[in-house]
Structure 1
Amino acid sequence: MNVTKPFFKMNPARYIVVFTVLLVSISCKKKINTITLNKVEFDQTNNWILLERTDVKKENNTFSWNFKVKQPAEYVIQIVSNDELSEGENYAKVKIGAHEFKESLSKNYVINATKIVSEFKNRIQFKNTEKQRISITTDANFNKLRIIPHYKKPIGSGNYHQEWLTMHQSNEKQEALKRFKEAKLGMFIHWGLYSQAGGIWKGTKINNSPYPGPKVAEWLMYAFKIPREEYKKLAKTFNPDKSFAKNIAKLAKDVGMKYIVITSKHHDGFSLFNSKSSAYNMVDATPYNADIIKELYDACLKEGIDFGVYYSHGNDWMDGTDGNYANVKKVNDSLGIYTHPTGKNLWNPTKNTHKEYLQNKAYPQIKELLTLLPELRLIWFDGTGFVTEKQAFNFYKLVYDINPKVLVNRRVGYSFGDYLDAGDNKIPSASEKLEKYWETCGTTNNSWGYKSYDKDWKSPKELLYYFVDILSKGGNYLLNIGPDGKGNVPETSAKNLREMGKWIHQNADAIYGTSRWKIPNEGQEETLLEGTGHRAVKGFKRNFTSKDFWFTSKDNKVYVISLSNTEGDILIKSLRKGEGSVEQVKLLGSDKPLVWDQNKNGLKTTITSLPINSLGYALEITLKNK
């Protein structure tokens, strides 16, 4: 009788052969799967919503569809048609959820030589994947509606999310984030070769440059399309005062700023630190011949100020070729998506590929900064543009692997940041719900880099208002200075900051380490900042009354901030009886408790003895319970 031997009783040599074959088989399969995964690129069109005219509920000239959003994000709406729009058809009225708007239609671009695409300027923010309904009223003869993610906010594949989340939730990151949240106020510094020009090139102000694009001083090279070799010559005369680092750190401390972020490399590609990856840096290319980033880092640590660096990873007009523009445009053209050229060197790009720029300059320079500055607190990335999801993740992971205590901002790309920035000179509305902690970066005039002719300085009261508004909403304020080519901060800018700083130091308890209270303010409606250009055109007009209050909180204390210097009786309605049992009311800067009364109308007290020309005051309200 033939009996088959059990597998475990086989000859050992056979066992080894079989096991080896099995391992090789598994290994080969794994490699094939990996290769397959690497070849399959994430397709953004998977998140598009395509609504056909043939599949519609129609009533007169109104067309309606129900649909579901695959990924919450910011979207734009497009109409696709075969023919040019005739007279009388060049408008459409759109209703989607609570949003309703009417716009004229224009020929934005053409797909496949025949399909005409018209895009609405209004953007739609979908915050969930619930069922939606859209109606469009138009006489236009269109084929379909496309609802696609906005080009500035592409949606990622999600393949890296879990790995990012593990790093983001690490003890090191969370401790760093806690410290950042408590800091509240920081100094932004836009400074580099462009600072010498002061916003003027060959006698022409940047605002009068013949090309479209931002008119802020640090965009000098882009605004005038200056050839790379010509722009490089600015380095030969860049020789700031040796007292720069010490002066800046002292100013930040005087104002009450707890951290500093400086442009270690802006879009022009010039490095303010000693870089082994590019000779286009402060040590090798300028008569200064020293590492000014390291000098400022040392000065900040001496003053007890946290240090961070700005780094433009997506834009580099000196070495970053066209910023990957041509490759992205080729794909977008086939889909009928506009490829925005802003921030890309299309006038004098280098011959290398964008991938080579990342491998040979950007990644190595981030390593250099992290090694040079062991107590670095954050890296403020910028210029994402056409950085891919994988590349954005690589930057985040690179920072984490070298120093997990370093925070990374939103602009690294694809939601891989540890915190958000609301935008340049933008403050979110009190009703806006943000999924991460946030920061607003703002200017003291209307430019980031030094613009010699911009004298539209924000007053101490205006600066303080923005700061208090941000505080009450639970964010940080990163307030910018633009020193000139010698490293000097414009006198009015420094003076206004120090005036604001006097109030900050006196009312520090209402600021540092505080959180948003149950409501941010009472009184007048908020005056929102809508961007750098918005403030430049609209200016600032607001009167502060004794009925306007902003709130912060910490433990069992609520802080009530007023930007009025009017003395007399005040009533804080939000602290009426039932909204917290008051134990003590104190004016910050004074040791004497105030007499108060809490009733159904609010908390009533009397303000006296305010300093002359005071920017306002803050009350500390101690509650019996947290």
Structure 2
Amino acid sequence: MTMQPWFADAKLGIFLHWGVYAVDGVAESWSFYGGDVPYDRYMAQLDRFTATDYDPDAWARLFARSGARYTVLTAKHHDGVALWDTRHSDLNVAERTPAGRDLLAPYTEAMRRQGLKVGLYFSHLDWSHPDYASLRHEDPTRPWMTDNPYTMPPQGQEDPERWERFLAFHRGQLSELVTGYEPDLLWFDGQWERTERQWRMRELREELLALKGDMILNGRMHGHGDYTTPEQGVPITPPDGPWELCYTLNNNWGHNPQDRDHKPVSLLVRTFAETIGGGGNLLLGVGPTAEGAITPEQASRLEGLGAWIRRNKDAVYGTVAGLPLGHHYGPSTLSKDRRTLYLHCVDGLRDFVAVRGLVNQVKRVTALATGEVLAHRTLGGFKEVPGVLLIEPPAETDRYVTVLAVELDGEAELYRGGGCG
């Protein structure tokens, strides 16, 4: 699968969970699925979803200042409520809420005005559609997903004709999204309730790319997507190939006014550095209110992350994954020509910064944000085993993560052996 090059260069995306669930601040879709909120009460939020403060241009300006290069908006979550005026169902905000209009077109236009790539989230499953729970998962070892009436029919009551109707609905809505809004990225979810064969994922990929050949499809397609999407924690071992960490600003994806446990900017910066150091992107979750406002707590954190990125942009954009674990106590990135190593120093710099296993000679070391030239020397080493590079700390360090730029005499070369003796 050929990946569009913009994705690896983007580094930061914004993941917007916006829907009727923001009215009462309940968990998106899962609150009724798990029985925490009755379905009728959940859907009653439709009557109070207003989008009165929705200003997608303000969103786009904020996201651009955060350093993001793309955004993803929940066009339709598992609850089946569409943020556009779909022809295939009246369960949409244009027909069923006081918002009374398509919310996707203003979003896509505003993001593009700021030069941001446009992503749309779409749940394969639909817990509100009358034909969805008509076919059981082909794997009988999954009782956790087969004993819920929103998911599966009772044993012996399968109806393949209804499933075919649902697939036609599913394809119809996706066709509307691709032809109507021309997204750069489709971010899928909800694939787990059916197999690849039941979804016909291979055929779906072909159909979508026939509509727009340069579109990226995330990995939640049973092996037919372009990249993987771990959630809520940086993988200890980075995945093979392109990947993206999905990560919330507090403990919820959507707006929840009771959740005041927002992550500090220091943690966001460190998580971002660890993610790009492993070759991934960070997709940072934002939950607008039912009116369409982004809370000050979330906005301030995006601003803080963006300020750090601007100070250290050369170590972010145009880089690839850095050193494997063990060479440096912290994340790192490499310039695309692999001739400049960026050390992301996540802890206080008290004595020196060390790099092990670096074969190259070092031409110069600077503190990236200030340009201060730093003294350095290499100590030890034996035969083919390189010594340890020691770098004196800068006079001025960053509040969150200090980045040192190490200019090499050629492409980075590492010793990965077990040592002599």
TM-score band w.r.t. shorter chain: 0.7 to 0.9
Alignment root-mean-square deviation, CA: 2.6
The one-letter code sitting in structure 1 at the alignment partner of 2:352 is I
| Cα pair 2:127 2:150 within 8 Å, conserved | no
- Tell me how far apart the structure 2 counterparts of residues 436 and 291 of structure 1 sit (CA, whole Å): 36
Amino acid aligned to 2:330? F
Distance of 1:344 and 1:245 partners within structure 2? 37
Matched, 1:410 2:219: yes
Please give the secondary structure, in 1, of the residue aligned with 2:254: coil
The letter for the 2-side match of 1:397 is E
Cα contact 1:322–1:354 (8 A) shared by 2: yes
SS in structure 1 opposite 2:352? strand
Q: Is the counterpart of residue 224 in structure 1 residue 35 in structure 2? A: yes
Going from structure 1 to structure 2, the CA distance change for 1:347 and 1:616 (only over 3 Å counts) comes to closer
Partner of 2:334: 553
Deviation of 1:590 after TM superposition, in Å, equals 2.2
CA distance in 2, matches of 1:239, 1:288: 4
Compute the TM-score of the two structures, normalised by the length of structure 2. 0.86
Change (3 A) 1:364 1:347: closer
2: distance between equivalents of 1:603 and 1:324?
Answer: 64
- Kindly indicate whether the alpha-carbon contact (under 8 Å) linking 1:583 and 1:622 is maintained by their aligned counterparts in 2: yes
Q: Which runs of 5+ in 2 are unaligned?
A: 154-158, 380-386, 412-421
Higher strand proportion, which one? Answer: 1
Q: Decide whether the 8 Å contact of 2:276 with 2:321 is kept in 1.
A: yes
Q: Which residues of 2 match residues 199-598 of structure 1 at below 5 A?
A: 199=26, 216-224=27-35, 231-313=42-124, 315-319=125-129, 321-324=131-134, 327-328=136-137, 337-341=141-145, 345-346=149-150, 353-359=162-168, 361-374=169-182, 376-390=183-197, 391-413=200-222, 415-422=223-230, 424-430=231-237, 434-520=239-325, 522=327, 548-554=329-335, 555=337, 556-566=339-349, 569-574=351-356, 579-598=359-378
1:332 CA displacement:
5.0
Q: What is the aligned partner in structure 1 of residue 393 from structure 2? A: 606
Distance 2:63 2:147 in 1: 30
CA deviations on 1:63-92 (whole Å, 9 max, x unpaired) are xxxxxxxxxxxxxxxxxxxxxxxxxxxxxx
Q: Deviations over 1:139-193 (max 9, x none)?
A: xxxxxxxxxxxxxxxxxxxxxxxxxxxxx24xxxx3x1x2101111111011100
The Cα of 1:197 is off from its aligned counterpart by 0.9
Higher relative CO (CA 8 A, sep ≥ 6), structure 1 or 2? 2
Q: 1:190, 1:449 within 8 Å by CA — same for their partners in 2?
A: yes
Shift of 1:355: 2.6
Contact 1:261–1:307 under 8 Å retained in 2: yes
Say if 2:122 and 2:186, in contact at 8 Å, map to a contact too: yes
> C-alpha displacement at 1:486, in angstroms?
1.2
How much does 1:549 deviate? 2.8
The percentage of counterpart residues that share the same residue type is 26
Query: Contact (CA 8 Å) 2:217, 2:226: kept in 1 or not?
Result: yes
2:418 aligns with: none
Which amino acid counterpart does residue 186 of structure 1 have in structure 2?
Answer: G
Residue 615 (str. 1) matches residue 400 (str. 2): yes
**Alpha-carbon deviations, 1:107-150, whole Å to 9, x = none?**
xxxxxxxxxxxxxxxxxxxxxxxxxxxxxxxxxxxxxxxxxxxx
Contact 1:274–1:290 (CA<8 Å) still a contact in 2?
A: yes
Alignment coverage as a number of residue pairs:
395
Q: How big is the shift at 1:303? A: 0.8
Q: Higher Cα Rg: structure 1 or 2?
A: 1
Change (3 A) 1:345 1:182: farther
Indicate conservation of the 8 Å contact 1:282/1:291, yes or no: yes
Matched residue of 2:229: which SS? strand
How far is 1:466 from its partner?
1.5
Contact 1:322–1:345, Cα closer than 8 Å, also in 2: no
- Within 2, Cα distance between the matches of 1:439 and 1:509? 20
Question: How far apart are 1:382 and its partner, in Å?
Answer: 0.5
**C-alpha contact (below 8 Å) 1:218/1:448 kept by paired residues:** no
Per-residue CA deviations over 1:46-67 (Å, capped at 9, x if unaligned) read xxxxxxxxxxxxxxxxxxxxxx
Q: 1:192 to 1:345 in 2, by over 3 A?
A: farther
In the TM superposition, residue 342 of structure 1 has moved relative to its aligned partner by: 7.3
Given residue 393 of structure 1, which amino acid in structure 2 is its aligned partner? R
Specify the SS of the correspondent of 2:253.
Answer: coil
**Aligned partner of residue 410 in structure 1, secondary structure:** coil
CA shift, 1:230, in A, is 5.1
1:477/1:244 Cα in 2 relative to 1: closer, same or farther (>3 Å)? same
Gapped regions of structure 1 (runs ≥ 5): 1-167, 200-215, 524-547
The Cα of 1:512 is off from its aligned counterpart by 1.5
SS in 2 for 1:358: helix
**CA drift at 1:618:** 0.7
Compute the displacement of 1:322 (Å).
4.9
The SS at the match of 2:15 is: strand
